[in-house]
Amino acid sequence: MEIRRVQVEGPDRAYGLSYADWGRPGTARTVVCAHGLTRNGRDFDHLARVLAADRRVICPDVAGRGLSDPLTNPGDYALPTYVGHMLQLLQRLGLEEVDWVGTSMGGLLGMGLAAMGEASPIRRLVLNDIGPFLPKAALERINAYLGLDLRFWSLEALEAHLREIHAGFGPLTDAEWRHLAEHSAARREDGRFGLNYDQRLSQPMTTGPIENIDLWPVWDQIHCPVLVVRGTESDLLLAGTAAEMTGRGPRAEVVEVYGTGHAPALMAKDQIEIVRAWLGRAEPAAAAQGR
C-alpha cells in the first residue's frame, strides 16, 4: 500500500487529495472505497488488503478529511463538490470503469456517480448502510457531534470517544478500534489530539433546520447492479427504505449485518467476504447488454 496524492480543481482553486493505493495499476478491476462523513480512507485497510489480492483498490480521503486539503470556503463541503473531485481523481488515474464501495456519505457519492447514465464510471455499486432516504432523526444525531473542536490528552481518550459515537460500527476488537483511533488523530497546536477532519464541514448542515432528505429521483436513475449492506440497528438506513430499494430503480440486493447499526465497519471477516464475493460475481447478461 502506498499513500499518494493528486491535484483536483475547484470550486475556487486546486486542492490536494490523498488516497491509499492498494494492489497494482493495470489489473483488470479497480475498486474505489469511499468513507463516511467524518472518516477517512484508512477505514478500509482491512477490506482493501483482501480485495487487493486480485484488484487495485483506491481509498481516497475526501476534501477536508484525513490527509487531503481542507476547502477554503466551508460552504463548498457538499456532495456536488465531492462528486466532481472523485470524477477528477478517476480521470487523473486513467480509470474509466470502477467498482465502488461507499459507506454512508461515500455511498451517496457512489449513487451520484452511478446516476450519470452512460457517462457513469461505475460497474458495480456497494452501498454500506445508506440509501435514497435519510431520516431527520438520524441526521440530528450526527449533527450533534459534527464539527465540535474536541481535544484529547491521549490517544486512549480519543479512542474512547470514537467507541461512543461510532458504536454502530459493531463489536470491533481492541486492535480495530485502535486502528481507527490512530488514523483519526491529528496533533493540535496545544499538543493535544484532535479529530483529523475540518470542523467547518458542519456549516452547510447548520444553515437551516434539519429535514428528511429524499434522493429517490437519483436512485431511479441508477442502472448498475447494487448491493446494500445494512446494519440491523441502523437509524440512517431504515428497514422500510432498504426494502423499497429492492423494488425500484436498480432493484438492489440487501444483506443485513446483525449486531451493527450505522454503519458496519467492514472489518470483520464475514463482512469483508460479503463484499468480496459480490464484487466477484459475473455480471448478469442483461445488465451487460444494457451498458
User: Domain with 64 in it: what CATH number?
Assistant: 3.40.50.1820
65 within a domain of the structure (yes/no): yes
177 within a domain of the structure (yes/no): no
Contact criterion met (CB below 8 Å) for 122 and 98: yes
Range list of H helices, 4-57: 45-51
Cα 149 to the center of its chain, rounded Å: 22
What pTM does this model have?
0.95
Nearest one of 258, 231, 240 to 36, comparing CA atoms: 231
User: pLDDT of the chain along its 291 residues, tens only?
Assistant: 999 999 999 889 999 999 999 998 888 999 999 999 999 999 999 999 999 999 999 999 999 999 999 999 999 999 999 999 999 999 999 999 999 999 999 999 999 999 999 999 999 999 999 999 999 999 999 988 887 889 999 999 999 999 999 999 999 999 999 999 999 999 999 999 999 999 999 888 777 789 999 999 999 999 999 999 999 999 999 999 999 999 999 999 999 999 999 999 999 999 999 999 999 986 654 444 444
Q: What angle do CA 98, 101, 104 make, to 5 degrees?
A: 140
Instruction: State residue 1's pLDDT score.
Output: 96
Please compute Rg for the chain using Cα positions: 18
DSSP class per residue in 87-138: HHHHHHTT-SSEEEEEETHHHHHHHHHHTTGGG--EEEEEEES--SEE-HHH
254 within a domain of the structure (yes/no): yes
Contact criterion met (CB below 8 Å) for 163 and 177: yes
Domain span at 99? 2-133+214-280
Which letter does DSSP use for residue 74 in this model?
Answer: G
Tell me which amino acid residue 207 is: T
Cell triple for 184:
483519526
- Cα dihedral 47, 49, 51, 54, rounded to 10, equals 180
* Tally of structural domains, the chain: 1
Q: How far is CA 157 from CA 21, 105, 147, 153, 180, in A?
A: 30, 26, 18, 7, 13
57 within a domain of the structure (yes/no): yes
285 within a domain of the structure (yes/no): no
Nearest one of 141, 124, 117 to 205, comparing CA atoms: 141
Contact criterion met (CB below 8 Å) for 39 and 183: no
41 within a domain of the structure (yes/no): yes
Cα 59 to the center of its chain, rounded Å: 9
Instruction: State residue 283's pLDDT score.
Output: 64
Instruction: State residue 275's pLDDT score.
Output: 98
Contacts of 238 (CB under 8 A, 6+ apart): 133, 135
202 within a domain of the structure (yes/no): no
Which letter does DSSP use for residue 69 in this model?
Answer: P
Cell triple for 243:
426494502
176 within a domain of the structure (yes/no): no
Contact criterion met (CB below 8 Å) for 184 and 159: no
